Amino acid sequence: MSQNTLTIPNTGTLTGLALVNDINNALDSLNTMNSGGSAPASAEAYSFWADSTTGILKQRNAANSGWDLRLPMGDATVITKSASYTGVVGDFEKLIAFTNTGDYTLPSAATAGSLWSAMISNQSTIAAPKQVRILRSGSDTIDADSATTVYVLPGQTVTIYCDGTSKFYTDGRVIKGSIVNVASFSDAGSSTASTSPLNLNSAAFSYQPVSPNSVLNLKFWFEGQIANLSAANTQGNFAAYEVTSGNVALSSVYNVAAPTTNGGTGAQSPASIFVPALSNTVLTARQFELFGYTNNLNASVSALFIRLEIIEVQNA
């Protein structure tokens, strides 16, 4: 701990040795960023404080009325948990990785402070899913909802932010409710590229919901290829559609391929499409397809190594 005063006395009698000691002590405090388990008494606006209790470097705000979080200290950036865990201020900018079922209970917003954030990760797989939830503390809200429980999907990481008063915010790619079913499908796709007028290639999947009052969260992983594109048209799309009753576009991702000639292979790359909170009100089987297409009549489309994961969630 080094939290000495940075002010050298300029009245009274001061010996040379006392002056040197005061200067050395002041320099030591600056050199160690006022390190200590409690705030330095002589802090001023924009002063730094290496908080050894929370492991966070803090800086005094412009009004000299509180401390802003700046950087985590130490080498541990990933914290692994196999059971429920109550968060602390020291989780600032760390990844909390759950390897088993568990809840992450947020610290209170007032305690965490403005600019606090953390990443909560569900390390389970779709084949052996575990339930990971983010719970609010006291009367704090998450995304302006006082009753929100955020579910972290298998293989998903959610970043959550704090306003320092009473609110937390997520990065938007979250689900809220109880997981009632998980399913996964895979398809080799077509290794022979489509050259029809629509230049279309697709793979179809069917899912039977288990609840009439739920939302479906879909994620497509695929490796796609769009080939023989011209300099005038170098782009194509891969899009997720629901085809239960007509074709309804859900989401898409752009695939950009370099212009090629003489039958070149174009661009081939992995990508994913995430479709959150698709409303489900009946028990009718839902049909989905992943389409790859381009408007270039001379181009061709391949969709390879397709995988679909569906997590059905009961509305909260």
Chain segment 9-43, per-residue pLDDT in tens: 777 777 878 778 877 777 776 777 778 888 888 88
Residues 66 and 104 in one domain: no
What dihedral angle (degrees, nearest 10) is formed by the CA atoms of 12, 17, 19, 20? 180
pTM for this model (two decimals)? 0.53
Domain with 296 in it:
179-315
What dihedral angle (degrees, nearest 10) is formed by the CA atoms of 306, 311, 315, 316? -130
Q: Is 4 part of a structural domain of the chain?
A: no
Q: Is 7 part of a structural domain of the chain?
A: no
Q: Please say whether the beta carbons of 228 and 268 come within 8 A.
A: no
Distances (CA, A) of 102 to 176, 241, 268, 277, 292: 16, 33, 38, 22, 38
Question: Total domain count for the chain?
Answer: 3
Chain segment 50-84, per-residue pLDDT in tens: 888 888 888 888 888 888 877 778 777 899 999 99
Residues 281 and 187 in one domain: yes
Q: At 107, is the pLDDT very low, low, confident or very high (cuts 50, 70, 90)? A: very high
| Residue whose C-alpha is closest to residue 137's, from 159, 160, 121 | 160
**pLDDT of 259 over the 60 cut:** no
Residues 159 and 287 in one domain: no
Domain end (from 151, 174, 197) = 174
Domain end (from 112, 140, 174) = 174
Domain end (from 143, 174, 205) = 174
| Residue whose C-alpha is closest to residue 203's, from 311, 288, 310, 294 | 288
Q: In the prediction, which pLDDT does 303 show?
A: 57
Residues 52 and 148 in one domain: no
- What is the percent of the chain where pLDDT is above 70? 75
Q: In the prediction, which pLDDT does 225 show?
A: 65
Chain segment 145-200, per-residue pLDDT in tens: 766 678 787 778 899 999 989 999 987 656 666 778 888 888 766 544 545 445 56
